Structure 1
Amino acid sequence: MLLSLFCGAGGLDLGFEAAGYEIGLAFDLRTDSIASYNHNREGAERGHVGDVSKLSLNDLDRLHQITFEPEGIIGGPPCQSFSRANTVYLEADPRHSLPLAYARLLKSLNQRKPVKFFVME
């Protein structure tokens, strides 16, 4: 079972699902992305609208309805704020810290039970 962060409509997740993995929980800030994510998958709605920078282990456990111990974590934090293609650098851009939010969740989950792998796109 995997945790998907910054999942968007689920393109990266689709690849992992095709490889035999199950997505336990998936998060994105955009409501339309999560609506598409859940619409295109049968069964339980695993996609949730949420700010990854504010997620805690308690949030994950509550949504999963049991202690959440994913085998892996996948996701691609938005890169617009630090991309070389960005010609307008704003110091206060909150997207700068999103890779650190990913790392914080990875560390917390790894302390609970070792995570076998992570993919940050």
Structure 2
Amino acid sequence: MTIKTILGYEIAPGVTPEEYEEWLFDVHAPDLLANPYLDRIVFNKVLRPVRQASGATADVPVGYTFYRIAEMHYADETAYENYLAWFRENPIPAERGPAGRTDFKFYVVTESTEVTR
């Protein structure tokens, strides 16, 4: 079973996309990946919203907008719990963290099931 945290966010007001991208890839991603229980991060930059699902089978309401939706992958629930414990022992300094840079819209823990062709 794969466990993921999935989070959607906007860039905080006052931060330019260029500043955000530099911080994200040069500072934050390396800080997160220092945790041995995190397998990988997938950063999905949102290009545009979708208004219809599966060939017009359903209208999708206009809702939140997102700059990015990110996925953080863990081997299992135990790895995720160890990830949290590791950061309690090794906190990211506030000046390097997302506060003031990332405006979170949602952040959830999920169990993933992949369907492929």
TM-score (norm 1): 0.24
- How high is the TM-score relative to the length of structure 2? 0.25
Higher-Rg structure is 2
Relative contact order higher in (CA < 8 Å, ≥ 6 apart): 2
* Structure with more strand by fraction: 2
Structure (1 or 2) with the greater helix fraction: 1
